[in-house]
Amino acid sequence: MRAMMPCGLAIGGLDPGGGAGVIADLRAFEAAGAFGCAVVALVTVQSTAGLRSVRPLTDGQVTAQANEVLSHQDVRAMKIGALGSARNVRAVALLLARNATIPSVVDTPMRPTRGQGHLTANAALAAIRDDLVPRATLVTANLDEVQALLGEPVRSLRDAHDAARALARLGPRAALVKGGHMRGPEAIDVLAIDGDVIELRAPRLRLGAVHGTGCTFASLVAGRLARRARDRLDRATLVEAIRWAKRRHHAALQRAASVGEGQRVLTFRTLRK
């Protein structure tokens, strides 16, 4: 018999332009060596030029999709993205509770970089904070998402340390505050895990707008965990997956590709002439 290939399951939004959401998640899973599966929680009208509209699916539809994959495929990690409604957030939180042995990376974007509408309804914020985040193995958040969840702005590296600890106190195994939107010569992500704080540094890249960076980073972590995690996830495996994802993500940012109007996108293949 051939060895079974591990699966990564993404639950999030469908971006027809392919730059973000579950399509970007599948590319990241492949780059990490996992077979990508996807549950669509919301449908968008969107491209690299921006978001036009959002329509969440029902919580029953989201749960049914996920249960089918989880029942029949070797899912070893999950990545949670935009869910649209509070009902979907609570449904996915319950799904994580029922599958607590599967590592999960929660990255729930709330607003698009460009365009109109909300990827996650304002009414869902409390459910994300109180129901979903505590079920996560790792929660990742940019500065705007941190402020939405905690009510406090992050203006400095010290603030980022405090915010990572505060997110970790909500209940996840670990919390990562992404420093891409801060200033300085380095992009410094701050990880809180097991009472410790770890800084992950990379040279800051001078880039224009790049679409789907948060989706891709979280999915790289989840894909790596799908390949590496066995039984009970230990700290060393989780930290290694995050460090690996940051290196892979930074390399992809350096070769972000233009596929049309507006923002560039991340790719893990070298473009050929």
Sequence-ordered alpha helix ranges (H) in the chain: 21-32, 59-72, 86-98, 125-127, 143-150, 157-169, 213-228, 235-254
Query: Per-residue pLDDT for 139 more than 60?
Result: yes
Contact in structure between 7 and 66 (CB atoms under 8 Å): no
* pLDDT band with cut points at 50, 70 and 90 for residue 117: low
CATH number of the domain within which 81 lies: 3.40.1190.20
Flag whether 37 is in a domain: yes
The answer as to whether 120 is a domain residue is: yes
- Residue 83 is predicted with a pLDDT of 95
pLDDT by residue (tens digit) across 245-271?
Answer: 999 999 999 999 999 999 999 998 754
**Domain assignment of residue 70, yes or no:** yes
Instruction: Confirm whether 2 is domain-assigned.
Output: no
pLDDT computed for residue 273 by the predictor:
38
3-state secondary structure of 218: helix
Residue 144 lies in a domain: yes
Q: Is the residue at 271 inside a domain?
A: no
Which range marks the domain in which residue 246 is found?
7-259
Q: Which one is predicted more confidently, 123 or 231?
A: 123
- At 33-88, the pLDDT tens digits run 999 999 999 999 999 999 999 999 999 999 999 999 999 999 999 999 999 999 99
29 lies in some domain: yes
**Above 70 in pLDDT, residue 115?**
no
Q: What is the pLDDT of residues 209-251, one digit of tens each?
A: 899 999 999 999 999 999 986 667 899 999 999 999 999 999 9
pLDDT of residue 113: 60
Whether residue 98 is contained in a domain is answered as yes
Output DSSP code: residue 108.
-
Count of the separate structural domains present in the chain? 1
pTM over 0.75: yes
